[in-house]
Amino acid sequence: MRRYVKYVLQRPYYQIKDLYGPKITDSDGALLDEHDSFYITTKSLLVLFQIMGIMPIMRVPREAKTTKRTTYDWISKATLWAYLVWGLECIIVVKVGRERLTNFQQSSYKRFDEIIYNIIFLSILIPHFLLPIASWRHGPQVAIFKNMWTHYQLKYLKITGTPIIFPNLYYLTWGLCVFSWGLSFTVVLSQHYLQDDFELWHSFAYYHIIAMLDGFCSLWYINCNAFSTASHGLATNLHKALEADYPALKLAQYRHLWVDLSHMMQQLGRAYSNMYGIYCMVIFFTTTISLYGALTEILEHGLSYKEMGLFVIVGYCMTLLFIICNEAYHASRKVGLEFQVRLLNVNLGAIDRSTQREVEMFLVAIAKNPPIMNLDGFTNINRELFTANISFMSTYLIVLMQFKLTLLRQSARRALRTIVSAVFSTNATMIDDDEDDDDDDEE
């Protein structure tokens, strides 16, 4: 690294500060807004999150001379609105939760499988109460992530000369906003019609929670799609860097653009670490219990509407988890491995020594800054997480099924003892009656 800096300082045509690209100052506020196509195309989801009180971040006015275009404040208008919405939602959620809890406490005389249903729908209510801790508390980190995207697009434009274009992302975001609520109504109402004890007024406690889970899944999908698009654009422009007047400088600037993109991927996991961590745990718990309840009911009574409702929950939860893990895998692959392959395919014999050194340093930067979706050190989001969840669920499901079979064996033993006792009691009664008849005959 020291030899490289020494080499750069010896070059007459650029300085070391040029490696990081044009500097963005407070006077670029309007320019940042103008070229922030990611915010413009995904604004609908941000507004939906503000209306629902999920993430009350705000955009500064266009005339504000600051590089921080997205802000978060605990007493802003958006945050105060979030307090109000969350408080009103708490009324119905607490009422439904108390009824579910009462049924759970008063169901000691019922079968274990019937108690399970209350646990499932209680677990789905948990994300609502954890929203202030899991989402609002990380508002400043989310604002940092949004500002990183804003700065990156302007820096990308100044270095490459071309803007980042997100094709169809505007309509995709709008579609996902509508689809999130449509899917919420579909899933919740299906439980009302398929579950006997799921009353219609209970559904009002679940609509916004399911829509929130759908919204976070949509947010993850959109960000992963944007990372892939930015990486593809940067890789496509590599040939321009190699054909430029000073290819070593241009390649160094591209390297810093790539490192910024990798840091943004890490910041995404850091900003939403608690929310997606709770998200994965609720999915894991709900899916395991729902699958257990469905299988045991099928073994005892066959397939019915109740089991179909539980399978809807299982399919819904597993689909959300698969989308999150799969999109993270594709984004990491496109930003990391596929970009690395493009660099390895560069013909080193056709470029000068300084450019060769930049290619080598680019490859080292990719190896040292892997584009990994990590939830603030808790876990990596990739396909391995999905398969690990399936493995863990299978293990716990086997344990629960063994517990169920033990209960069935105990019930069978009790029934057998009852039958045997009844038989012996009947025989004893018949013998006593015969003896009484003999006595009467002798008399």
Residue 32: pLDDT above 90?
no
Per-residue pLDDT reduced to its tens digit, 375-410? 888 888 888 988 988 888 888 888 877 776 776 666
pLDDT of residue 293: 79
Residue 177: pLDDT above 90?
yes
Residue 193: pLDDT above 90?
no
Question: Among 2-6, 335-339, 439-443, which range has the highest average pLDDT?
Answer: 335-339
pLDDT of residue 88: 94
pLDDT of residue 361: 87
Give the lowest-confidence range in 136-150, 295-309, 382-396.
Answer: 295-309
For the chain, report the end-to-end CA distance as a whole number of angstroms. 121
Tell me the pLDDT band of 6, cut-offs 50, 70 and 90: very low
Can you tell me which residue has the tokens 């009103």?
88
Per-residue pLDDT, averaged over 231-258, amounts to 82
Give the lowest-confidence range in 8-12, 77-81, 171-175, 205-209.
Answer: 8-12
Residue 300: pLDDT above 80?
no
Tell me the pLDDT band of 10, cut-offs 50, 70 and 90: very low
DSSP 261-329: HHHHHHHHHHHTHHHHHHHHHHHHHHHHHHHHHHHHHHHHH---HHHHHHHHHHHHHHHHHHHHHHHHH
Tell me the pLDDT band of 5, cut-offs 50, 70 and 90: very low
CB distance 218 to 176 below 8 Å: yes
Question: Among 2-6, 20-24, 59-63, which range has the highest average pLDDT?
Answer: 59-63
pLDDT of residue 20: 57
Residue 221: pLDDT above 90?
yes
Residue 228, phi then psi, degrees to nearest 5:
-65, -40
Q: Judge residue 395's burial from the number of C-beta atoms within 10 Å of its C-beta, 0-12 exposed, 13-18 middle, 19 or more buried.
A: exposed
Query: Closest Cα partner for 410 from 164, 142, 111?
Result: 111
CB distance 361 to 4 below 8 Å: yes
For residues 21 and 195, the model is more confident at: 195
Per-residue pLDDT reduced to its tens digit, 315-368? 998 999 999 999 999 999 988 888 888 888 877 777 778 888 888 888 888 888
Residue 17: pLDDT above 60?
no
pLDDT of residue 415: 60
Percent of the chain with pLDDT over 90: 25
Per-residue pLDDT, averaged over 238-255, amounts to 79
Tokens for 140, please give them.
Answer: 């400043």
Residue 219: pLDDT above 90?
yes
pLDDT of residue 1: 43
Tokens for 349, please give them.
Answer: 């014999």
Tokens for 213, please give them.
Answer: 């889970």
Per-residue pLDDT, averaged over 49-63, amounts to 89
Residue 424: pLDDT above 70?
no
pLDDT of residue 4: 40
Tell me the pLDDT band of 52, cut-offs 50, 70 and 90: very high
For residues 212 and 297, the model is more confident at: 212
Mean predicted lDDT score pLDDT of the chain: 81
Q: What is the DSSP letter of 163?
A: -
pLDDT of residue 60: 87
